Amino acid sequence: MSDQLLFSVFPYVAVIMAVVVTLVRYRFQKFKFSSLSSQFLEGKSLFWGSVPWHIGIIIVLAGHFVAFLLPEQILAFNSVPARLVLLEVTGLAMALLALVGLALLIFRRLNNKRIQAVTTTSDYVVLLVLLVQVISGIMIAVGHRWGSNWYASSMVPYLRSLFLLKPNLGFVVSMPWTVKIHILNAFVFIMLIPFTRFVHFLVVPFQYVNRPWQIVRWNWDPSRSRKS
Amino acid sequence: MKVRSQISMVFHLDKCIGCHTCSVACKNLWTDRKGAEYMWWNNVETKPGTGYPFRWEDQNDYNGGWIKKGSRIELKGSSKLQAFKNIFHNPNLPVMDDYYEPWTYKYEDLINSPEQDTQPTARPVSLVTGEYIDIKGGPNWDDDLSGSEEFAKNDPNFDKMSAEEKDGLFNLQRMVMMYLPRICNHCLNPSCLASCPSGAIYKRGEDGIVLINQDACRGWRMCVSACPYKKTFYNWETGKSEKCILCFPRLEVGEVPACMHSCVGRIRYLGVLLYDQDQIENVAHMEEGQLIDGQVNAILNPFDPEVIKAAKESGLADSMIEAAQKSPVYKWVKEWKVALPLHAEYRTLPMLFYVPPLLPIMGNISENGYDNSNHTYFTSIEKSRLPIQYLASLFSCGDEGKVRDVLKKLMAVRIFRREESVGDQSKPWVQKALSEVGLDEKTANAIFKLTSMCTFEERFVIPASHREMAIEMTKMVLEAKGETGFGTSNKPERI
Read off the pLDDT of residues B61-79 as tens digits, 9 standing for 90 and up.
999 999 999 999 999 998 8
How large a percentage of chain B has pLDDT more than 70? 91
pLDDT of residue B366: 58
Cβ of B88 within 8 Å of Cβ of A54? The answer is: yes
Task: Indicate whether B128 belongs to any domain.
Answer: no
Nearest residue on chain A to B221, alpha-carbon basis: A37
Task: Indicate whether B402 belongs to any domain.
Answer: yes
Cβ of B476 within 8 Å of Cβ of A226? The answer is: yes
The CATH number linked to B431 is 3.30.70.20
CB atoms within 10 A of CB A156: 21
CA pair distance B301, B460, nearest whole angstrom: 19
Taking only the tens place, the pLDDT of each residue in B260-269 is: 999 999 999 9
Identify any residues that bridge with B10 across adjacent strands, giving them in sequence order.
B269, B353
Cis-peptide into B429, omega within 30 deg: no
Task: Indicate whether B390 belongs to any domain.
Answer: yes
pLDDT at A123 over 90: yes
Taking only the tens place, the pLDDT of each residue in A130-188 is: 999 999 999 999 999 899 999 999 999 999 999 999 999 888 888 999 999 999 999 99
Identify any residues that bridge with B355 across adjacent strands, giving them in sequence order.
B12
pLDDT of residue B363: 56
Task: Indicate whether B419 belongs to any domain.
Answer: yes
Longest Cα–Cα distance of chain A, Å, equals 74
- Quote the mean pLDDT of chain B: 90
Set of chain A residues whose Cβ sits within 8 Å of the Cβ of B470: 219-220
How large a percentage of chain A has pLDDT more than 70? 96
Cis-peptide into B48, omega within 30 deg: yes
CA pair distance A68, A151, nearest whole angstrom: 9
Helix (H) or strand (E) run with residue B242 in it: strand B240-243
pLDDT category at A222 given cuts 50, 70, 90 is low
Nearest residue on chain B to A38, alpha-carbon basis: B236
How large a percentage of chain B has pLDDT more than 90? 72
Cβ of A28 within 8 Å of Cβ of B488? The answer is: yes
Q: Which domain holds residue B397?
A: 265-459
Q: Which of A18-22, B150-154, B305-309 has the lowest mean pLDDT?
A: B150-154
Q: How many CB pairs under 8 A join A and B?
A: 161
The amino acid that residue B371 corresponds to is D
pLDDT of residue B163: 81
| Predicted TM-score (pTM) of this structure | 0.92
Nearest residue on chain A to B200, alpha-carbon basis: A215
pLDDT at A209 over 70: yes
Among B84, B129, B492, select the one facing A113 at the smallest CB separation: B129
Task: Indicate whether B328 belongs to any domain.
Answer: yes
Residue B132 burial class via C-beta count within 10 angstroms: exposed 0-12, middle 13-18, buried 19 and up: exposed
Top residue of A44, A124, A220 to mutate, by most chain B CBs within 10 Å, is A220
pLDDT at B487 over 70: no
Task: Indicate whether B300 belongs to any domain.
Answer: yes
pLDDT category at B387 given cuts 50, 70, 90 is confident
Taking only the tens place, the pLDDT of each residue in B185-243 is: 999 999 999 999 999 999 998 899 999 999 999 999 999 999 999 999 999 999 999 99
Distance from CA of B495 to the nearest CA of A (A): 6
- Domains of chain A, CATH where assigned: 2-224 (1.20.950.20)
Task: Indicate whether B213 belongs to any domain.
Answer: no
pLDDT of residue B406: 95
pLDDT at A52 over 60: yes
pLDDT of residue A1: 61
Tally of CA atoms within 13 A in the half-sphere of A95 that contains its CB? 23
pLDDT category at B368 given cuts 50, 70, 90 is low
Is A125 within 8 Å of A133 (Cβ atoms)? no
pLDDT category at A224 given cuts 50, 70, 90 is low
Task: Indicate whether B101 belongs to any domain.
Answer: no
CA pair distance B462, B440, nearest whole angstrom: 29
> Which residues lie below 8 Å from residue B299, measured CB to CB, with a gap of 6+?
B273, B274, B275, B330, B333, B334
pLDDT of residue B495: 67
Q: How many domains does the structure of chain B reveal?
A: 1
pLDDT of residue B388: 86
Higher pLDDT, A132 or B466: A132
The amino acid that residue B64 corresponds to is G
CA pair distance B185, B321, nearest whole angstrom: 22
- Segment B112-140 shows an average pLDDT of 93
Please report the ipTM that was assigned to this predicted complex.
0.92
Among A117, A122, A226, select the one facing B474 at the smallest CB separation: A226
